[in-house]
Amino acid sequence: MATESGIDYAAELNSEQLAAVQAPDGPVLVIAAAGTGKTRTLIYRVAYLVEQGINPNNILLLTFTNRAANEMLERARDLVGPAVSGLWGGTFHHLANRILRRHAEAIDYRVDFTILDSDDQKTLMRNIILDLGLKDKQFPKPDVLLSLYSFALNTEQEVEGLLQDRFGDHPISLEDIGRVYDEYERRKGALNAMDFDDLLVNTVSLFRKNPSILEQYQERFYHIMVDEYQDTNYLQAELVDLLAAKHKNLLVVGDDFQSIYSWRGANYRNIIDFPDKYEGTTIFKLVTNYRSVPEILEVANGCIAGNPEQFQKELKAVREMMGKPTFVEPRSGDDQAKFIIQKIREFQRDGYPINNICILYRAHFHAMEMQIQLARERIPYQITSGVRFFEQVHIKDVCSFLRLMHNPGDELAFLRLITLLPKVGPKTALKIWRNLEGRFDFKTPGAREKLIAGLPKGAQPLWQRIDSIFDRYEQDGLAGNPSEVVHYFLEEFYDQYAVENFENYPRRIEDVQEVIQYVGQFNSLGAFLEEMALLTNIDKEAENLGGAEEASVKLSTVHQAKGLEWDVVFMLWVSDGMFPSGRSLDEEEGESEERRLFYVATTRAKDHLIMLSPQVRRQRDGGMVFYSPSRFISELPEELFQIEKPAYFY
DNA sequence: GTTTCGGTTCTTTTT
DNA sequence: GAACCGAAAC
């Protein structure tokens, strides 16, 4: 029956979904298996709450990516109308950022704090190791130290214990590592900067130290919904618990089978233990799968049955049969790529648009031969690479200029910018920075002259061109127009720099042009810089989808494909040692996480799933390594697959 | 003392 | 690619 808003819930949802949408207040756990209409359920839940008289301003919707948030807000708007605009939706880090911008002083930060990306973190860490005189072959690399530290924070464990486990057998002084971490904290404070983890850590400690602030937000978020709950870690769960503590109107959605971020501190137990943590939790299960044909679901169900410790549930198929998933053993990675290209052409002939085809893999480097072959065959493709758009070298170079203009004390930006000049390396750059007393504000009289005087002769002419932008800043009113600033920077300096330093210079300049476009959407430089730090490449991709992007095959890691679906899915390197990855098998519970990842991959496919396991891989030194099909394939009954032989290559 | 350049090695997964 | 290292060049 249609309600006053015109939504006929019973007709538009199945009984599983309907029950979850109309759940009473209080804690709710929705176990939503892959392809069962999880997003739909969340959106209708929003509509339902609004209909019950809840102001959208009082609803918080936490998602794993910005893409997911945007999609949901858009669909909710279509369903409910513009009223939902007041709803807070976004990632944990976005929420934390918004809160901290308001209350930074309460935790001894200034509101204009910068957000360090992983590259900045690495630079900072490297400098600390250098300055403390700990640089040594034996000493752990910045990367290693940072990820261990981050893991400790996100799982709320003591660093000492983790260090002991990790380096206990090594002749490394754990005290030295402790000193590095202390110094890392100190320098972030001095820079008025936070890294990704700090956003969460500081929000939680802000709330713990200031109950009155916490209470404001508890009041505000009368209803809280969390998507992909199986991938939240302790810290994120803690944040949610704090916010929900008063009203306990907390609805979490997730699937323990799809928990694939344990290396980042997520634990599928989060979802299993939820009812214990929240007394009186109502539990709903969505298991009717609308996405995939039954043959694909059989493989998915069969594979996850190999994880007996998990909460068993079978995906129920409703679609018609179409044919079994294909399994192929090409000889090499090159043959694998050639086979896929031939198949892509066949699927296109059968009427599948190229946009509905995706190639998935465990790790980025697995897709190398594939990219080469696609380019050679002139099949358009789009890859979500490992490096986030705003973390690419050329983008960071350009943004360092903006960062410095915005925040004259941004040491990392200054050093990066100035080492782009000839004859200026790390030492010279640091000397100049010290000489400027840790601050370069072009508006301060004399500062510009002082900088120029400190530069080596060879660097001066180039810097003078950059310096000329500061004159135009006043004249042309660039303050409110960051796009123009980037434009001038490119024109005066970076275009030429790129030509001289990058082989693929046109591509990089294109990216910078895109930044110019992108910055234009923001009314202030600060707003742009803030947003930039929190954006991932998946989000950027989603922005592009609105435009007239060329139709293309998608290439993606399984992790980045979470929540997405395609008509046709190819899986590369489904070989033991590649998927599951050899490294993960050494870890505790490594195999079961890989199996979940495999499950996620298979359930992305709607009509056709083609898995490939090349037999050999050439190593760098010219040697050959032989591979067998993944254990996730060989442990399943053979009749679930259609075995195909790429005979034409021999 | 510093920068620059060329060779070598290594790639799990990311908010 | 890009990070690291050692040696040449400034």
**Secondary structure (H, E, C), A526-550:** HHHHHHHHHCCHHHHHHHHHCCCCC
- Is strand C within 7 Å of residue A372 (CB)? no
Counting residues of chain A whose pLDDT is more than 90, the rounded percentage is 38
CB burial string A428-437: b at 16+ within 10 A, e below = bbbebbeebe
Catalytic choice (A403, A604, A617, A631):
A604
**What DSSP line would sit under A215-281, residue for residue?**
HHHHHH-SEEEESSGGG-BHHHHHHHHHHHTTT--EEEEE-GGG---GGGTB-THHHHSHHHHSTT-
Catalytic choice (A12, A22, A39, A179):
A39
Q: How far is the CA of A428 from the C1' of B1 (A)?
A: 10
Active site residue A123: no
Place of tokens 């858009």: A74
pLDDT of A650 > 60? The answer is: no
E strand or H helix at A582, and its extent? helix A582-586
Least confident of A157-161, A171-175, A300-304, A627-631: A171-175
Q: What is the DSSP letter of A1?
A: -
- Is strand C within 7 Å of residue A504 (CB)? yes
Question: Residue A442: how many CA atoms within 13 Å on its side-chain side?
Answer: 21
Alpha-carbon distance of A418 to A414, in angstroms, equals 6
Place of tokens 């944990």: A92
pLDDT of A403 > 70? The answer is: yes
Q: Flag residues 103-132 of A with CB < 7 Å from strand C.
A: 126
Each residue of A545-598: pLDDT tens digit? 444 467 889 999 999 898 889 999 999 999 998 999 888 888 778 888 999 999
Determine the protein residue whose CA lies at the shortest distance from the C1' of C2.
A393
Q: Which nucleotide is nearest to A419 (CA to C1')?
A: B3
Each residue of A431-488: pLDDT tens digit? 999 988 888 998 888 889 989 988 888 888 899 999 998 888 777 666 678 888 889 9
Predicted local confidence at residue A229, as pLDDT = 93
pLDDT of A384 > 50? The answer is: yes
Predicted local confidence at residue A543, as pLDDT = 56
Q: Per this entry, what is the length of chain A?
A: 650
Active site residue A219: no
Counting residues of chain A whose pLDDT is more than 70, the rounded percentage is 95
Alpha-carbon distance of A403 to A485, in angstroms, equals 12
Active site residue A228: yes
CB burial string A85-105: b at 16+ within 10 A, e below = eebbbbbbbbbbbebbeebbe
- Is strand C within 7 Å of residue A138 (CB)? no
Predicted local confidence at residue A612, as pLDDT = 94
Predicted local confidence at residue A647, as pLDDT = 62
Provide φ and ψ at A604, rounded to 5°: -80, -20
Cα A501 to chain center, whole Å? 29
Predicted local confidence at residue A547, as pLDDT = 43
- Position A118: which residue type? S
- Is strand C within 7 Å of residue A387 (CB)? yes
Provide φ and ψ at A206, rounded to 5°: -55, -45
Short-list A194, A275, A268, A276, CA closest to A232: A268
pLDDT of A221 > 50? The answer is: yes
Q: How far is the CA of A423 from the C1' of C9 (A)?
A: 12
- Is strand C within 7 Å of residue A137 (CB)? yes
Q: How far is the CA of A331 from the C1' of B5 (A)?
A: 39
Q: Is the peptide bond before A637 cis (omega within 30 degrees of 0)?
A: no
CA distances from residue A31 to A41, A87, A341, A469, A568 in whole angstroms, order as listed: 11, 24, 37, 56, 26
> A301, A314 in Cβ contact below 8 A?
yes
**Helix intervals (H) in A437-523:** 447-454, 460-475, 482-489, 495-501, 505-519
Which band of pLDDT confidence, cut at 50, 70 and 90, is reported for residue A3? Answer: low
Active site residue A38: yes
Predicted local confidence at residue A531, as pLDDT = 84
- Is strand C within 7 Å of residue A140 (CB)? no
Each residue of A82-110: pLDDT tens digit? 888 888 888 999 999 999 999 999 998 99
* A90's tokens: 């976004």
Least confident of A2-6, A91-95, A280-284, A425-429: A2-6
pLDDT of A371 > 70? The answer is: yes
Alpha-carbon distance of A260 to A264, in angstroms, equals 9
Q: Which nucleotide is nearest to A117 (CA to C1')?
A: B15
* A88's tokens: 């807070």
Alpha-carbon distance of A193 to A199, in angstroms, equals 10
Q: How far is the CA of A424 from the C1' of C4 (A)?
A: 20
Which band of pLDDT confidence, cut at 50, 70 and 90, is reported for residue A622? Answer: low
Predicted local confidence at residue A542, as pLDDT = 57
- Is strand C within 7 Å of residue A392 (CB)? yes
Short-list A339, A338, A369, A323, CA closest to A645: A339
Alpha-carbon distance of A244 to A453, in angstroms, equals 57
Active site residue A39: yes
Q: How far is the CA of A422 from the C1' of C8 (A)?
A: 17
Cβ neighbours of residue A397 under 8 Å, at least 6 residues apart?
A416, A417, A420, A494, A497
Least confident of A263-272, A287-296, A477-486, A522-531: A477-486
CA distances from residue A417 to A116, A202, A310, A318, A426 in whole angstroms, order as listed: 16, 29, 51, 57, 11
pLDDT of A617 > 50? The answer is: yes
Cβ neighbours of residue A223 under 8 Å, at least 6 residues apart?
A49, A54, A58, A59, A60, A247, A249, A251
Predicted local confidence at residue A559, as pLDDT = 92
CB burial string A185-201: b at 16+ within 10 A, e below = eebbeebbbbbbbbbbb
Cβ neighbours of residue A426 under 8 Å, at least 6 residues apart?
A415, A419
Q: Which nucleotide is nearest to A142 (CA to C1')?
A: C3
Average pLDDT of the segment spanning A257-270: 86
Catalytic choice (A16, A120, A197, A228):
A228
Predicted local confidence at residue A2, as pLDDT = 44
Which band of pLDDT confidence, cut at 50, 70 and 90, is reported for residue A62? Answer: very high
Q: How far is the CA of A423 from the C1' of C10 (A)?
A: 9
Q: How high does pLDDT run on average in chain A?
A: 87
Catalytic choice (A232, A258, A560, A603):
A258
Residues with CB under 7 A from strand B: A 64-65, 91-93, 118, 147, 150, 196, 260, 263-264, 362-365, 384, 386, 388, 419, 422-429, 431, 536-538, 557, 559-560, 581, 583-584, 587, 620
* A454's tokens: 């400190």
Q: Which nucleotides of B are covered by protein (CB under 7 A)?
A: 1-4, 9-15
- Is strand C within 7 Å of residue A363 (CB)? no
Alpha-carbon distance of A255 to A266, in angstroms, equals 13
* A252's tokens: 């979490």
pLDDT of A214 > 80? The answer is: yes
Determine the protein residue whose CA lies at the shortest distance from the C1' of B1.
A427
**Helix intervals (H) in A104-210:** 118-131, 142-154, 159-167, 174-191, 196-209
Short-list A644, A579, A561, A576, CA closest to A340: A644
Q: How far is the CA of A408 from the C1' of B3 (A)?
A: 26
Q: How far is the CA of A175 from the C1' of B9 (A)?
A: 30
Short-list A54, A637, A646, CA closest to A303: A637
Which band of pLDDT confidence, cut at 50, 70 and 90, is reported for residue A1? Answer: very low
Q: What is the largest CA-CA distance in chain A?
A: 79
Active site residue A464: no
pLDDT of A154 > 80? The answer is: yes
- Is strand C within 7 Å of residue A523 (CB)? no
Predicted local confidence at residue A539, as pLDDT = 65
- 3-state SS class at A333: helix
CA distances from residue A572 to A189, A329, A330, A456, A580 in whole angstroms, order as listed: 44, 11, 11, 51, 12
